[in-house]
Amino acid sequence: MSLRLTRRSLLAGAGAAAAASPFSFSIARSQETPIKIGFPVPLSGPYSSEANDQVRCAQLAIDWFNEGASRKAELVVRDDKLNPGEAATRALELIESDKVDFLCGSLSASVQLSVNQVASKRGVIYNSISQSDTINEASDFTKYTFHEALNPHMTAGAVARYAFKNAKGKKVAYLIADYAYGTEMLRGFRNVAKETGMEEVAEVRHPLGTTDYSTFFPRIQSARPDVLVVVNFGRDQLNTLKQATDFGLKQQMQIVYPVILDTQRFAGGFAPFEDVIGGGNYYWTLEDEHESAKRFNDAYRKKYPDQGVPSAYGALGYAGVYGLLNGVKEAGGAKTDDVIAAMETMKYDAYKGAEYFRKCDHQAVQSVLILKAKAEDKMRDKWDIFEIVDTQPADEQFLRTCEELGHKA
């Protein structure tokens, strides 16, 4: 008996266990082989709650497609451990061994770039659902690369336009995590700062994964900014806000984040986030405006009654798989070149209003929400944490031009 057999039986066992767990892998019942979508996300580690919500939501997109479809779709979930090397290995497994038709997923810039490399070389479409400017650029982009997530340029731009317009004064300071995500966001903010005549009084780059931010504050406080733009992610975001509150920074300046995380607000208590402004791809109250958001939320509530509402990151899992399968529907099959052609021309409304992929870089052109964290006494219930204060519409003018990205017209 070879290990290969052992693994098959193990996988079957895992499938049975998963069926009992909150997210079940759909098993196609039709005679045809199912359309397989490989879904590597960081199921273990610090972002596991976000990743698990992405799996839940991705499954909803599969359900949406399978309803009435003759050839069913199926999700093949793998743990990428938030590690690009592991993710590349898993992508190889999904392509070479599981023979997936498409890939979707990732929660960090480096992981998506590595999956993109592996997938592109082997001619497999990859729809990335995590922020990065680099993946749209000519050096990393191939025709197999799609990017459903927002990118830092459009996010930072949207937040900056709102925050700088509503600022009490003209001075801005930046506290930036020292890596690609931070640098790309900073570039987006600076562009708008130049246009709107903001004066930059401090730029502080902190090492990734810093636990105590207090040592960076004196320099920022002494510069007396009106707006403090902080760019970091996950627990770094929560810790920065907690400590900034202790040091009284919030009384002195408006704190602005390019992306404000609902999951971190739930994890860290509500006080540190109060009055902070930030961007987002999705917030569940969009259902008041958009039919598609309502449909998505209702499906979520029905299938996962204990989970409340979908998170912004979960919603990206939905949109990523939805985009691929919508392409399959339009193309009338899962052939790679047909699906690429369909995705390049289609308009789709997955969960937040109309979107489409720009032809030159396959970036999803979409709206960006500006959110403000509600004060605790203004919240109606535990899910009522943000207010949508503004929306930047879906428009290519908010993206870098194809030439800027290095694509030949």
Partner 1 sequence: MTVDLFLLQLFTGLALGSIFVLVALGLSLIFGLLTIVNFAHGQFFMLGAYVGAFVLGMTGNFWLSLIAVPLAVGAVGMLCERFLVRPLYGRGIDYPLLLTYGLGLILLETVRILAGTQGIPFNTPPVLSGAADLGFFFFPKYRLFLIAITAIILVALWLFLERTSYGLIIRAGARDQEIVQVLGVDVGRVWLVVFGVGVAIAGLAGVLAAPIRGVFPEMGVPVLVEAFVVTVVGGMGSLLGAVVAGLAVGVTVSFTSFFYPEMATLSMFLLMALVLVFRPRGLFGRAGLLG
Partner 2 sequence: MVERSATAGPPARTRPGGPAAIGAAYDFVDRHRVAIAILFLIVLPWLTPYKALAVNILIYGLFAMGFNLIYGYAGMLSFGHAALFGLGAYGCGIPIAKFGIPWFLALPTGVAVAGLAAVAIGWFATRSRGIYFAMVTLALSQVVYYIVFQMVWLTGGEDGLRGVSVPALDIFGLELSLLDPTAKYYLILIAVALALWLFSRILQSPFGAVLEAIRENEKRAAACGYDVNRTRWAAFILSGLFSGLAGALYAIHLSIVPIETLHYFTSAEVLMMTLLGGMGTFFGPFVGALVYILLQDVVTVVTVHWQLVVGILFVVLILFFPRGIWGSLLHWLRP
Binding residues for partner 2, rule: CB under 8 A, are 2-4, 7, 10-11, 13-14, 17, 43-44, 48, 79, 81, 83-85, 88-89, 92-93, 96-97, 109-110, 113-114, 117-118, 121-122, 132, 134, 139-140, 179-181, 183, 208
> How far is Cα of residue 46 from the mean position of the Cα atoms in its chain?
16
Q: What's the closest the beta carbon of residue 238 comes to partner 1, in angstroms?
A: 6
Residue 238, interface with partner 1 (CB under 8 A)? Answer: yes
* Chosen from partner 1, partner 2, none, partner binding at 204 (C-beta under 5 to 8 Å by type): partner 1
Cβ nearer to partner 2, comparing 180 with 346 = 180
Residues numbered 155-184 forming contacts with partner 1, rule: CB under 8 A: 178
* Chosen from partner 2, partner 1, none, partner binding at 238 (C-beta under 5 to 8 Å by type): partner 1
Burial category of 229 from C-beta neighbours within 10 Å (exposed 0-12, middle 13-18, buried 19 and up): buried
Q: What's the closest the beta carbon of residue 239 comes to partner 1, in angstroms?
A: 6
Cα–Cα distances (Å) from 314 to 107, 126, 192, 283, 332, in that order, read: 11, 18, 29, 11, 27
Residue 333, interface with partner 1 (CB under 8 A)? Answer: no
* Chosen from partner 2, partner 1, none, partner binding at 211 (C-beta under 5 to 8 Å by type): partner 1
Cβ nearer to partner 1, comparing 161 with 265 = 265
Stretch touching partner 1 by CB under 8 A, among 149-157, 211-219, 328-336, 354-362: 211-219
Q: What's the closest the beta carbon of residue 143 comes to partner 2, in angstroms?
A: 16
Q: Site for partner 1 (CB under 8 A): which residue of 215, 291, 333, 403?
A: 215
Q: Site for partner 1 (CB under 8 A): which residue of 15, 46, 85, 333?
A: 46
Stretch touching partner 1 by CB under 8 A, among 102-110, 236-244, 366-374, 394-402: 236-244
Q: What's the closest the beta carbon of residue 340 comes to partner 2, in angstroms?
A: 19
b/e sequence 240-249, b meaning 16+ C-beta within 10 Å: bbebbbeeeb
Residue in the structure block whose two tokens are 């990017």: 147
C-alpha triplet 278, 370, 306: angle, nearest 5°: 80
Cβ nearer to partner 2, comparing 26 with 48 = 48
Q: Site for partner 1 (CB under 8 A): which residue of 267, 298, 375, 404?
A: 267
Cβ neighbors of 49 (< 8 A, separation 6 or more) are 263
* Chosen from partner 1, partner 2, none, partner binding at 209 (C-beta under 5 to 8 Å by type): partner 1
Q: What's the closest the beta carbon of residue 240 comes to partner 1, in angstroms?
A: 11
* Chosen from partner 2, partner 1, none, partner binding at 222 (C-beta under 5 to 8 Å by type): partner 1
Q: Site for partner 1 (CB under 8 A): which residue of 89, 243, 285, 336?
A: 243
Q: What's the closest the beta carbon of residue 271 comes to partner 1, in angstroms?
A: 7
Q: What's the closest the beta carbon of residue 135 comes to partner 2, in angstroms?
A: 9
Q: Site for partner 1 (CB under 8 A): which residue of 144, 146, 216, 282?
A: 216
The contact set with partner 1 (CB under 8 A) reads: 45-46, 48-49, 178, 204-207, 209-212, 214-219, 222, 235, 238-239, 242-243, 246-248, 263, 266-269, 271
